[in-house]
C-alpha cells in the first residue's frame, strides 16, 4: 500500500525560500514580492493589451507564494488597482501596498501633487478601488517640493488614526528626507531605486537596516551595461548557469535582511523565472563578484 500524502507534506511555494520580513512588527510578508506597474498598458498608461492575461499573471504570482504586492493609483492610472481587486480580492493572506501623490498626464508622464486634500482623495479612492476598509501599507509616492512636508504627511497620519491606513511608507527619498519625515510619522518602509547596477541609495539602505525599516528596491532586476554579452554579469551567468535576472534578485535578497524586492513583469514566464530567484543560493565567489560590480 502506497504512502499517503497530506496537504502539509506539499512543498512550500518557491517564493517562501526568500524568507520573511515583518513590516511594522505586525505584518509579516515573504521578502520576494511583485510590483504591479507593468500589468497596465504601454507607458504605464491605460488598460493592458490582454486583461485576462494580466489577471492570470497576478493569480500565478500568488500560486508561486507571493504575498506582498506593490501598486499605486498612478499605474494606469487606476488600472493596476482595479486589476488586483478583480484578480485577488478579498486578499486572503496577501498584503497589497499602494501609493499616492503622483498624477498622470499621459504615457510616461508623472507629476507630484502633495496637497493634503488631494492625498486624502487618493487614499479614499484606493480604498474603494481595492475594496478594503484599511490599506495595509500606504506610501507617499513622491514628496512634493511645493507643499510643506508636515502638511503632506499630516493628512496621511490623520487617516492612519482614522483606521484607514495600517502602516506608512515613503518612496524615492534621501536620508535627510527620511529623517525629516520621521519627525512627523512612523516610517515602516522606503521604496527607492536600487539594483545591482545602481546603488546610489546605499546610505538609505544602511539607515533602514539599522532601524528595521523595510527597503523596497524598485527596478530591481535592471542590470544595464553589466549584462551586455561581453560584460561581467554575462560572464557570471555563463559560469553559474543562473540567468541574469535571478542573479540580480538573489544578490538583493542576500544584500540585507530588510530588502523586499518587487520585480514586475507582464509575462508569466518572466514571473516564474523571477520567483525562482528566491531559491538561488550564491556561493562566496559569485557573491564577491556581484558585490564588486560598480553601481
Annotated catalytic residue within 75, 117, 118, 194: 75
Catalytic (active site) residue 138: no
Cell 559560469 belongs to residue = 239
Do residues 249 and 220 lie in contact, with contact meaning Cβ atoms separated by under 8 Å? yes
What are the catalytic residues? 75
Amino acid at each position: 500500500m502506497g504512502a499517503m500524502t497530506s496537504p502539509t507534506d506539499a512543498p512550500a511555494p518557491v517564493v517562501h525560500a526568500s524568507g520573511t520580513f515583518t513590516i511594522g512588527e505586525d505584518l509579516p510578508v515573504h521578502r520576494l514580492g511583485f510590483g504591479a506597474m507593468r500589468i497596465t498598458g504601454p507607458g504605464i498608461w491605460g488598460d493592458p493589451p490582454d486583461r485576462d492575461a494580466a489577471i492570470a499573471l497576478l493569480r500565478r504570482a500568488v500560486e508561486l507564494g507571493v504575498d506582498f504586492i506593490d501598486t499605486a493609483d498612478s499605474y494606469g492610472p487606476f488600472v493596476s488597482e482595479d486589476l488586483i481587486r478583480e484578480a485577488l480580492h478579498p486578499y486572503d493572506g496577501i498584503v497589497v501596498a499602494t501609493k499616492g501623490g503622483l498624477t498622470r498626464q499621459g504615457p510616461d508622464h508623472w507629476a507630484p501633487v502633495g496637497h493634503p486634500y488631494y492625498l486624502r482623495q487618493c487614499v479614499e479612492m484606493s480604498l474603494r478601488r481595492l475594496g478594503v476598509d484599511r490599506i495595509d501599507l500606504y506610501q507617499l509616492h513622491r514628496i512634493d517640493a511645493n507643499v510643506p512636508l508636515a502638511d503632506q504627511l499630516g493628512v496621511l497620519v490623520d487617516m492612519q488614526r482614522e483606521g484607514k491606513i495600517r502602516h506608512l511608507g515613503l518612496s524615492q527619498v534621501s536620508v535627510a528626507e527620511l529623517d525629516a519625515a520621521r519627525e512627523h510619522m512612523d516610517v515602516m518602509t522606503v521604496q527607492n531605486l536600487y539594483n545591482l547596477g545602481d546603488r546610489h541609495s546605499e546610505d538609505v539602505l544602511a539607515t533602514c537596516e539599522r532601524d528595521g525599516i523595510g527597503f523596497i528596491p524598485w527596478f530591481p532586476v535592471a542590470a544595464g551595461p553589466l549584462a551586455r554579452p561581453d560584460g561581467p554579469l554575462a560572464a557570471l551567468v555563463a559560469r553559474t548557469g543562473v540567468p541574469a535576472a535571478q542573479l540580480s534578485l538573489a544578490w538583493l535578497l542576500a544584500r540585507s535582511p530588510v530588502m523586499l524586492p518587487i520585480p514586475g513583469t507582464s509575462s508569466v514566464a518572466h514571473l516564474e523565472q523571477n520567483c525562482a530567484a528566491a531559491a538561488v543560493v550564491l556561493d562566496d565567489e559569485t557573491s564577491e563578484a556581484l558585490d564588486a560590480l560598480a553601481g
